[in-house]
Chains A and B, each alone.
Chain A
């Protein structure tokens, strides 16, 4: 195996590790935010949550992959 292939492999491994770390951080942020809630949502916060859900459910990532 040449040095270029080895370097590429190391780079891919580093990218995968960085990706996994980013995902873990994102997940931790989501769970932390939810875990910090101590009171029932106000009506305004509740409406905002529903509006956020509507936007997510209507977004491009929510459409079928067609696969």
Chain B
């Protein structure tokens, strides 16, 4: 149920509705804390997404690492793709946010787009871990591609940070 709500939240984010302010509760009926007055909600939501995606990346890679012997190879390969592509994408999302805070380059729409893509990748990573099927692996790969292309769009439009996309 919680996984479903995570996926639902991510889908909502794709439609530009901030996930951490629109989805009622998380585990045990805990409410989502309102963003403090005077704080930039774009930044807070981006940081929330960065923190949760990092933890979930850790959770999923640890899970694959510990259960490799019993998992289908296609699932390990899908997680491998995340191992290769997610760290630079996550770091670029951090860089984009830092640039946004300095009002240098990315605007609020850019940051929201990356935040949305991060959360969709996160939801699909979770589905991959729980479903562990070929369909889920494909879905996870598509979400990863979406995350990377969202980040590329932002950096390709931003001359001051273009060099950071070279991998």
Contacts and interface: CB of A to CB of B under 8 A. Distances in A.
Nearest to B31: A35
Contacts, number: 115
Contact of A65 (B3, B80, B130): B80
B47 to A, nearest CB: 5
A53 B89 CA distance: 12
Majority SS of interface residues in chain B?
helix
Contact of A35 (B20, B84, B94): B20
A64 B84 CA distance: 8
A49 interface: yes
Interface size class of A (residues with CB under 8 A): 20 to 34
Given A37-B47, A53-B91, A65-B77, A31 B52 contact: yes
Interface size class of B (residues with CB under 8 A): 35 or more
Contact of B73 (A34, A60, A67): A67
Interface in A48-67: 49-50, 52-53, 56-57, 60-65, 67
Contact of A49 (B3, B51, B64, B126): B51
Contacts of A26: 59
Contact of B43 (A24, A25, A27, A40): A40
9 contacts: A24-B3, A26-B59, A27-B59, A33-B55, A38-B33, A38-B44, A41-B47, A49-B50, A49-B51
Interface of B: 2-3, 6, 20, 26-28, 30, 32-36, 39-40, 43-44, 47-52, 54-59, 61-62, 64-65, 68, 73, 76-77, 79-80, 83-84, 87, 90-91, 94, 101, 126, 129-130
